[in-house]
Amino acid sequence: MFRTTRAIISCLRTVSTVAAYDKGRKWQPALRFLGCSVVGTGTALYFFSHQVKASSHEFMAEPVTDMSKANKDDMRVKMELMIMKIQADFCHALEAEDSAKFCVDRWLREEGGGGVTCVLQNGAIFEKAGIGVSVVHGVLPPAAVQQMRARGRKMKGDKLPFFAAGVSSVIHPRNPLIPTVHFNYRYFEVTEEDGTKTWWFGGGTDLTPYYLNENDAKHFHSTLKEACDKHDKSYYGKFKKWCDDYFDITHRGERRGIGGIFFDDLDSPDQD
């Protein structure tokens, strides 16, 4: 099982546990949705790490890539199938708790690739929820290459082929006692002019409560720390600070919500 992606999914599990401190039985179904979805996600990740197959009925729409011609050992394919399954697991879990259904939009990008956007709105439990997958490729313009070099990426060439795949979500429950949750996880790959491939992972997750519950905040962060510590004990402190700085609202002198974790340019120890 690829280690970097395991760390990402471990962090995703955290958002399911905040419900443990809610006292209102009426809203317990709304809080269960993330926990329900993680079971399927964990199973999918184990499956993909051993053998990757494309089964379109498991997803909300057909994958962007033609899986009949895809190399199932390619990290690009593994990532696409994994995020498609994560999207489907979350959508099915939310639909199981709400009377509303997701509207599914499968779109294509003229420059290369495409994605699947799923939106649920005006439900009994969820005011609005969006879960999007994007799988895109093309050529990086020189300005983008220079920006990456400024971040420490020593890439050869000017117009370089790239690939990016990610899953992102923002979920707004109706109950103001339940926080808004956001997550985004992505994989980026660039092919240099000599054929060398440079890759990295990025993303994070955070909560924005309307009414602060200190137990929720402590539980959320302790679970994130536990997930990060399984892979590198330096991750949590570094990723938490990164998240705090990333979501800093300077003119207000505050940060968004209770934070979480954020990371980018994660390329070690290896893809697996």
- pTM (predicted TM-score): 0.80
Query: Phi and psi of 190, rounded to 5°?
Result: -125, 135
Q: Quick check: 233 and 244 in contact, CB under 8 A?
A: no
**DSSP for 172-184, written as a single string:** EESSTTSPEEEEE
Output the pLDDT for position 56. 57
Spell out the domain ranges in the chain.
3-266
Distance CA 184, CA 190 (A): 20
Output the pLDDT for position 114. 98
DSSP bridge pairs for 249: 254
Output the pLDDT for position 246. 87
- 231 a catalytic residue: no
Distance CA 174, CA 36 (A): 19
Check whether domain 3-266 has CATH 3.40.1500.10, yes or no: yes
Q: What is the pLDDT of residues 164-214, one digit of tens each?
A: 999 999 999 999 999 999 999 999 999 988 888 889 999 999 999 999 999
Helix (H, G, I), strand (E, B) or coil at 98: coil
Q: What is the pLDDT of residues 56-80, one digit of tens each?
A: 568 999 999 999 888 988 999 999 9
Nearest to 176 by CA among 24, 20, 36: 24
Output the pLDDT for position 11. 46
Q: What percent of the chain has pLDDT over 90?
A: 58
Mean pLDDT, consecutive 10-residue stretches, the chain (272 aa), reads: 46 42 44 40 40 64 92 93 96 94 97 97 96 96 79 75 97 95 95 88 94 93 95 95 89 87 88 73
Q: Quick check: 205 and 261 in contact, CB under 8 A?
A: yes
Nearest to 44 by CA among 18, 79, 20, 19: 79
Annotated catalytic residue, options 182, 219, 231, 251: 182
Nearest to 185 by CA among 205, 207, 203: 203
